[in-house]
Amino acid sequence: MAAPLKLHHVDTLDDPVLPVHKRGHELLCDPILNKGTGFPDSERDALGIRGLVPPQVVSIDDQVARVMENFQRQDNDLARYIHLETLHDRNETLYYRVLLQHLRELTPIVYTPVVGQACSRFGHIYRRARGMYFSHAEVAQFPAMVQNWPEDEIDIVVVTDGSRILGLGDLGANGMGIPIGKLALYVVGAGLYPYRTLPVLLDMGTDNQALRDDPLYLGERTPRLPDERFYPVVDAFIDAVHGRWPQALIQFEDFSNAHALPLLERWRERLLCFNDDIQGTGAVALAGLYGALRITGGELADQRVLFLGAGSAARGIADSIAGAIAAAAHRDLDRARSQLWMLDSKGLVTASRQASLAPHKRPYAHTLPDSTGAGVEITDLTAAIRALKPTVLIGVSGQAGGFTNSALREMRRYCTRPVIFPLSNPTTRAECSAEQAYSWTDGDALVATGSPFAPVTVNNRLLVPGQCNNLYIFPGVGMGAVSCRASRVTDAMFHAAARTLADQVGEDSLAVGRLFPDLRHIREISARIAAAVCRVAVEQGLAGIEAPPNDEADWETFIRSRMYHPHYVPYEPA
């Protein structure tokens, strides 16, 4: 691909002509350069395309209309996903134009919740290679394999081992749909250039016997590696990627609870990386809580939080909230953590269980107050609510129906405006629906969900659940980190992202209980978050570039100047 493309910003009306090295059919087969029927007559002659596409020159807006007309003809969500991914493989400019113009309608298709269906069927719907696959059986070849990727400049790598895809569990190599979708949202949400992103599947085998028996499964048909072999493979992968693209951000995605936090702790102080399931989820949930407190008038330091679920998402959210409480109330972290509790499959996580707990749960294993009947095991959610009287209930269990009528009514009994966040994905795994959360609390709950739910009317009041969607956070954090050439991603950056997001919720949204801004403004949201991340990086001495003179306004201008905008630019033969 021609080098000028890497420096080109397609957001002005006087775009320079872009030299390209490809011609004819080869050019039409390049999804980054292809315009399909959008090539003007002058380019059809100069680039050897005349006769290879229909004679009518079609504007990109008319192409969008055709895509959406055919999208609406699909009879199920998986077919709609395939329709869009086929476009993604054919014409990336048009693909991103379609997503930007129909963001709210299409985001649930290209990512949560429909991407879960796509991952479950990935080997059956596979059409064209996208991204890179690193198999544990080929670990010795990793340094050579990274040289096979055609791009010399990569901003962000999203990598998964497919071990915990949404709430669906171990999907092995089928998990590649996650980094593909995640990076599409980076492009749409924050304007990362598509060819500067790299989706990766790290194939460690799978313990899903049904997949290993599926003749169309595309991954290694071996059990998952034990830890003594797992970590050296990850280390070899990171060394290879970092060796070729030393400034690239590595985002860990959908690793199992056993590996997610250890991997983050292993690498977070050594290179530019983060785990969106832990830190991104934590930041967006914290932003939702800030939004709820704008309605109730309460203080973060006074909240008591109970989690149904105690995996990596729970740990990430808990750490984010505890860190924010400690900062706001000038408390030490252990005291802040004492306000947050977790309920796992064996019951309330308490100090009496310390010896048998996984390491990521231990910081939240507390001793029950005497008034609750300390020493009595609490195994169900309603009993835990009765004992702890939380003001905030967060579901990250993957258990459909985990929030029961009795549990939410118990919470509403002592809490005027309970904060209810059933966050498990996909929709079929949500702890309760938005309608249930509202109806079981007489419309008084402040609700944010992991998957999208429709507005609800209770007692003649329109209530709009916010979607606690990581899309609000990770694009801006990633864009900010790579734009200022940060050497690390820190918790302070995620706290700044959460506060910036919460500040962008309008009063009209809060009036109907919506705790997040309209996703249609995602680029504006991401630009402000990215600018906030840059400012933190400078303050912490982690930025690789100097701060602009007029700090706040100039950072946002700088971020916007780096954004990719999908429209066709003029070509000429190189």
DSSP string, 348-413: E-BGGGGGGS-GGGGGG-BPPPGGG-TTS---SHHHHHHHH--SEEEE-S--TT-S-HHHHHHHHH
Return all residues near 53 (Cβ < 8 A) that are at least 6 apart.
Answer: 28, 36, 37, 39, 44
Q: Give me the residue label for tokens 């900010």.
A: 480
Beta-carbon contacts of 558 under 8 Å, excluding residues fewer than 6 positions away, are: 483, 531, 534, 548
Cβ-Cβ contacts under 8 Å for 11 (sequence gap 6 or more): 563, 565
Judge contact between 212 and 206, C-beta under 8 A. yes
Rounded distance between C-alpha atoms, residue 24 and residue 27, angstroms: 5
How many residues would you count in the chain? Answer: 574
List CB contacts of 124: < 8 A, sequence separation 6 or more: 216
| Catalytic annotation, residues | 111, 182
Q: Could you give the 3-state DSSP secondary structure of residue 440?
A: coil
Q: Angle 402-406-407 (CA atoms, 0-180°, nearest 5)?
A: 55
The radius of gyration of the chain's CA atoms, rounded to the nearest angstrom, is: 24
CB 487 within 8 A of CB 505: no
Q: Quote the CA–CA distance of 491 and 29 in Å, as a whole number.
A: 42
Are 393 and 418 in contact, with CB atoms under 8 Å apart? yes
DSSP 168-232: S---GGGGGHHHHHHHHHHHHHH---GGGEEEEEEE---S-HHHHH-TT--S--SPPPPHHHHHH
Sign of CA dihedral 354, 357, 358, 360: negative
Structure tokens at 372: 């609750």
Are 214 and 123 in contact by the 8 Å Cβ rule? The answer is: yes
